[in-house]
Amino acid sequence: MSSYFAEFFGTMLLVLLGDGVVASVSLKKTKSENAGWLAVVMGWGLAVTLAIFAVGKISGAHLNPAITLAFAFNGSFPADQVAGYILAQLTGAFAGAVLVWIHFLPHWKETTDQHTKLGVFCTAPAIRNTFSNLMSEVMATLVLVLALLFIGTNKFAEGLNPLIVGILIVSIGLSLGGTTGFAINPARDLGPRIAHFILPIQGKGKSDWSYAWVPIVGPIVGGLLGAWIYTLIY
């Protein structure tokens, strides 16, 4: 398996399980409807853990353009592979979202609220304020990248790293995710948003493109800042 395909597959698995828990909690007539934010955050943390276990030894399991760019910035990832990784992550996220749509096919019709349907695929702010929303994504991704780099300086038992990263995602979601839904990953937001735009989802409404740049720019800026701060410390 090439590194590029591993990034595609890992990101597809990440979004299938991550957006899957959002769908399970949000869509009507699922057995876990209204399970709440804790279920969503735990689901995303476990999704990240499993995706890293799946492809970590092949591609490093970036699964996130913000991480790829940050690692390239600090010199720990080759610059000539950045574009291929990002393309693989974006298409993998799109594919994962399509699988979520298929899996929950009967429930889209049962769910009438357009924002709920969109929320399965991509993030939206709790209170729409461009500066605050952007800063939320910057700060959460800064913490993500800085923590990943700190984790890399420590030695863990074989196979424990993915669990630590999953716990990190849960921590970020619980502490910093309530404002914007903590995209912290441009591919995780953009790929499924494109899927929402394309797929024939009954009564889906608009894909909120006016907000779409925030979960792209915010994580990229936050990731680069996290990598830069790490170089100041080490």
Does residue 158 register a pLDDT over 90?
no
Structure tokens at 20: 């899957």
How high is the pLDDT of residue 154?
Answer: 74
pLDDT digits (tens, 9 = 90+) for 18-40: 999 999 999 999 999 999 999 99
Percent of residues, the chain, with pLDDT higher than 90:
94
> What distance in Å separates the CA atoms of residue 44 and residue 63, rounded to the nearest whole number?
13
List the Cα angle 55/61/62 in 5-degree steps: 160
Half-sphere exposure of 219 (CA within 13 A, CB side): 24
Percent of residues, the chain, with pLDDT higher than 70:
97
List the Cα angle 182/193/114 in 5-degree steps: 90
pLDDT digits (tens, 9 = 90+) for 57-109: 999 999 999 999 999 999 999 999 999 999 999 999 999 999 999 999 999 99
* CATH number for the domain whose boundaries are 3-233: 1.20.1080.10
Q: Where are the domains of the chain?
A: 3-233
Mean per-residue pLDDT, 151-158: 73
